[in-house]
Amino acid sequence: MATGDIVAFNLLGVSGSMRLGSYSLKALTMVLESAASHSAQTKLLDLRTADLPMFSPDRDEHAASVIEATAMVTWADAFVLACPDYHGSMSGAIKNFLDYHWEELAGKLFGYLVSSHEKGLTVMDQMRTAVRQCYGWSLPYGVSLHGEQDFDEAGKPSATLDERLRMLARDVMVYGAMLRQQFQADIEQSVADSFASRYGNQS
């Protein structure tokens, strides 16, 4: 499937840095712009401004910010999670965001971006584990970046980073669309032996 063949694909970028001027958010914005240039519909959920309260399973009524974030998650066919490396782990903001969801993530593809002074591999592994628990798929690779080295003073990415961000945008769309299409067909046809019929939601 070529990127140009994709019709009506919704990609949600989730930014997990609380830092003004975040490098991971900058890179995520570039991924979303690249996906939009290939005809994807894109939205950004910036957790620095979204103001999601700490998840509590005991809370019956949700804040407007949670309702809005959940609508974006339900809308999405695929995700790119962008996260700083904090102590080799995902940020609390990303974990808190993930804690709110599971069925809405099932059958959808996730790509990962990590801002790190190292390689960010443990951060990606943690996000992958959480996504897998929610029956989401993950791209086999992620993009890690070192903000001070990979962006110049004007905020322009290095050629290598630029290439990787475009690859991530392209792959999350192409593979995300295939998986989503199959997942929805399995739900619509109530395919008995599919995990879609057990875990999928119809929205």
Q: Which residues bind ligand FMN (CB under 6 A)?
A: 17, 19, 22-25, 84-88, 115-118, 147
Angle between helices 92-99 and 121-133 (to 10 degrees): 10
Residue nearer to ligand FMN on the CB measure, 106 or 143: 143
Residue nearer to ligand FMN on the CB measure, 87 or 159: 87
Shortest reach from residue 168's CB to ligand FMN, in Å = 16
Distance (Å, rounded) from C-alpha 67 to C-alpha 184? Answer: 24
Shortest reach from residue 51's CB to ligand FMN, in Å = 17
Distance (Å, rounded) from C-alpha 67 to C-alpha 49? Answer: 15
Residue nearer to ligand FMN on the CB measure, 85 or 104: 85
C-alpha dihedral (165, 35, 175, 84), degrees to nearest 10: 40
Residue nearer to ligand FMN on the CB measure, 120 or 176: 120
**Are the CB atoms for 116 and 88 separated by under 8 Å?**
no
Distance (Å, rounded) from C-alpha 88 to C-alpha 81? Answer: 16
Distance (Å, rounded) from C-alpha 34 to C-alpha 39? Answer: 9
Shortest reach from residue 115's CB to ligand FMN, in Å = 3
Shortest reach from residue 132's CB to ligand FMN, in Å = 23
Residue nearer to ligand FMN on the CB measure, 18 or 167: 18
Shortest reach from residue 52's CB to ligand FMN, in Å = 17
